[in-house]
C-alpha cells in the first residue's frame, strides 16, 4: 500500500491518519478537505467559540510538534469516486491503494428563506464567526430546531444578551434524545429567559423592513433580527451516489469500518457501522465515536485483524446548556423502563438509568458527572443483550 487518501479533514479523518501512522503505515498520506482550515474541534462552535471566549487556535486538533507527513489538499471538494480514483473539484484525479471516507454531515437547508441575509447555519468555523458577529449586536434571535445545536446556540445567544426564542417541533427541546427527562432542558431555558415554542412548524422565513419574519404553520409570525437553523444534518455522501459503494443513512460499513468496496473504509458522522448489539447499521454522530472508530478502521485498511469493539461501545455525548453539564450514553430508544437513580429532575441535578429487560442500555446525567460515569462504565462493559437483536430493525 503506497498511497492512502483521506477524504475529510475532520476529527475522524485526522484520527484515522494518526492511527495509520501509529500502526506502521509509512506510505503517502493525502488528506482532502473542503474547508481551507486544518482539522479543528467542532463542539465549541455553538458554545465557547461562539461566545468569543476561545479563538481559532484553541480549536486545533493537531498536537504541538505533530508531524504525520500529510499532503494536505485543503479548500478542495471530492466530486466523485470512480474506478479506484477520487476526482476533486479542482480538476485533479487521484488514484489510491486505500481510501478513508470521513466527510461528516451537512446541515439541512430545506426551509424557505434559508439563504436570506441574517439566516445562519452552524457547521463550520466560518459559520460560527459570522453568527458571533451578529449576536454581538444583540436584538431578537429565533433558533429553529430543538436538538443539541439549537439548545446550545439559544443558551449562548441568551448569555450574550440577545432576546431568544427557541422553536421545537416536539413537546420539549431534546425530547428525541432524552425522552421524558428532556423537561429538565425546558426548565433550564425558562429559568434563563429563553422563550420555548413547542410543536412549531416553520413554513418560511421572509424579509421585512430590514429584519426577518419567521412564519409558522399556525399563522403566527415571529419577528427576528437573525435566525439560526438547527434543523438537523444529513451525511455528506452525495458525491458517492452511483459509484458502486453501498449507501443508506450514511456509508454502510461492517463492524470494523469496511465498506462494500475493497480498500475503502468510512469513519465518523458519515458512516453507518453495523452494530451487533442492535442487529443493524447505526450512525453515531458523536465526538468519542469518531475516536473509537479510527484505530479499528485503520487496522481494517491495513489488512490486520481489527477487533470489532468500536461498534459495540456505548455512544456518548455531552452538552453545556446555561451552565449545566448534560451527559448521555447508550441507546435510550431501546429501553422499556427508565428511573431516576439519584438526584431530582425538578432540581436540575440527577442521573436516570434506562433499562431493557433489566439490562442498563443508557444513562442520562445532568450536573452529576461522577455518578454518571460510574453507570457509563457498566454500559461499556456489558455484552450484547440478546433481547436487543432486531429491536429497531
pLDDT value of position 380: 57
Predicted structure pTM score = 0.90
Q: What percent of the chain has pLDDT over 90?
A: 77
CATH of the domain at 145: 3.50.50.60
Tell me, yes or no, whether 306 lies in a domain. no
Same domain, 296 and 339: no
Same domain, 297 and 222: no
For 348-367, what is each residue's pLDDT tens digit?
899 999 988 888 889 999 99
Question: How far is the C-alpha of 70 from the C-alpha of 241, rounded, in Å?
Answer: 27
Same domain, 138 and 97: no
Residue 391 has pLDDT above 90, yes or no: no
Same domain, 212 and 170: yes
Domain termination residue (choose one: 231, 250, 266): 231
Residue-range definition of the domain harbouring residue 335: 323-382
* 3-state helix/strand/coil string of the chain: CCEEEEECCCHHHHHHHHHHHHCCCCCEEEEEECCCCCCECCHHHHCHHHHCCCCHHHHECCCCCCCCCEEEEECCCEEEEECCEEEECCCCEEECCEEEECCCEEECCCCCCCCCCCEECCCCHHHHHHHHHHHCCCCEEEEECCCHHHHHHHHHHHHCCCEEEEECCCCCCCHHHHHHHHHHHHHHHHHCCCEEECCCCEEEEEEECCEEEEEECCCCEEEECEEEECCCEEECCHHHCCCCCCEECEEEECCCCECCCCCEEECHHHEEEEECCCCEEECCCCHHHHHHHHHHHHHHHCCCCCCCCCCCCCCEEEEEECCEEEEEEECHHHCCEEEEEEEECCCCEEEEEEEECCEEEEEEEECCHHHHHHHHHHHHHCCCCHHHCCCCC
pLDDT value of position 99: 98
Signed CA dihedral, 269, 270, 273, 275: sign only: positive
Tell me, yes or no, whether 89 lies in a domain. yes
For 284-309, what is each residue's pLDDT tens digit?
888 888 999 999 999 999 997 755 55
Domain termination residue (choose one: 209, 231, 253): 231
Tell me, yes or no, whether 250 lies in a domain. yes
Domain count, the chain: 3
Q: What percent of the chain has pLDDT over 70?
A: 94
Tell me, yes or no, whether 315 lies in a domain. no
Same domain, 219 and 160: yes
Same domain, 100 and 115: no
pLDDT value of position 334: 81
CATH of the domain at 353: 3.30.390.30
Same domain, 132 and 268: no
For 120-143, what is each residue's pLDDT tens digit?
999 999 999 999 999 999 999 999
Amino acid at each position: 500500500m503506497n498511497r492512502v487518501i483521506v477524504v475529510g479533514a475532520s476529527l475522524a479523518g485526522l484520527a484515522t491518519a494518526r492511527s495509520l501512522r501509529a500502526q506502521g503505515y509509512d506510505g503517502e498520506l493525502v488528506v482532502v478537505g473542503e474547508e481551507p482550515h486544518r482539522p479543528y474541534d467542532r463542539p465549541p462552535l455553538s458554545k465557547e467559540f461562539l461566545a468569543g471566549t476561545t479563538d481559532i487556535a484553541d480549536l486545533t486538533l493537531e498536537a504541538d510538534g505533530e508531524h504525520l507527513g500529510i499532503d494536505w489538499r485543503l479548500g478542495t471538494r471530492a466530486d466523485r469516486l470512480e474506478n479506484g480514483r477520487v476526482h476533486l473539484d479542482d480538476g485533479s484525479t487521484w488514484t489510491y491503494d486505500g481510501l478513508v471516507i470521513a466527510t461528516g454531515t451537512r446541515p439541512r437547508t430545506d426551509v424557505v428563506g434559508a439563504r436570506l441575509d441574517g439566516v445562519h447555519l452552524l457547521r463550520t468555523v466560518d459559520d460560527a464567526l459570522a453568527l458571533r458577529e451578529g449576536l454581538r449586536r444583540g436584538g431578537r434571535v429565533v433558533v429553529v430546531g430543538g436538538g443539541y445545536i439549537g439548545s446550545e446556540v439559544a443558551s449562548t445567544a441568551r448569555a450574550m444578551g440577545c432576546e431568544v426564542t427557541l422553536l421545537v417541533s416536539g413537546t420539549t427541546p431534546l425530547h428525541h434524545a432524552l425522552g421524558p427527562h428532556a423537561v429538565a432542558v425546558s426548565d433550564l431555558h425558562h429559568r434563563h429567559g429563553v422563550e420555548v415554542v413547542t410543536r412549531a412548524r416553520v413554513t418560511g422565513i421572509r424579509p421585512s423592513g430590514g429584519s426577518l419574519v419567521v412564519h409558522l404553520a399556525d399563522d403566527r409570525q415571529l419577528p427576528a433580527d437573525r435566525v439560526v437553523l438547527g434543523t438537523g444534518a444529513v451525511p455528506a455522501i452525495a458525491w458517492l451516489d452511483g459509484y458502486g459503494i453501498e449507501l443508506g443513512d450514511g456509508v454502510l460499513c461492517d463492524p470494523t469500518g469496511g465498506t462494500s468496496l475493497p480498500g475503502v473504509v468510512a469513519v465518523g458522522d458519515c458512516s453507518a457501522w453495523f452494530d451487533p448489539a442492535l442487529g443493524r447499521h447505526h450512525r453515531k454522530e458523536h465526538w468519542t465515536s469518531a475516536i473509537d472508530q479510527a484505530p479499528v478502521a485503520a487496522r481494517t485498511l491495513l489488512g490486520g485483524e481489527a477487533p470489532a469493539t468500536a461498534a459495540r461501545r456505548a455512544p456518548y455525548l455531552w452538552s453545556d446548556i446555561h451552565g449545566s453539564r448534560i451527559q448521555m450514553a447508550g441507546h435510550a430508544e431501546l429501553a422499556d423502563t427508565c428511573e431516576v437513580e439519584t438526584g431530582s429532575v425538578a432540581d436540575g441535578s440527577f442521573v436516570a438509568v434506562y433499562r431493557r429487560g433489566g439490562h442498563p442500555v443508557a444513562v442520562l446525567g445532568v450536573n452529576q458527572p461522577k455518578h454518571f460515569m460510574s453507570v457509563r462504565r457498566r454500559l461499556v462493559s456489558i455484552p450484547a443483550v440478546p433481547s436487543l437483536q432486531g429491536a429497531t430493525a
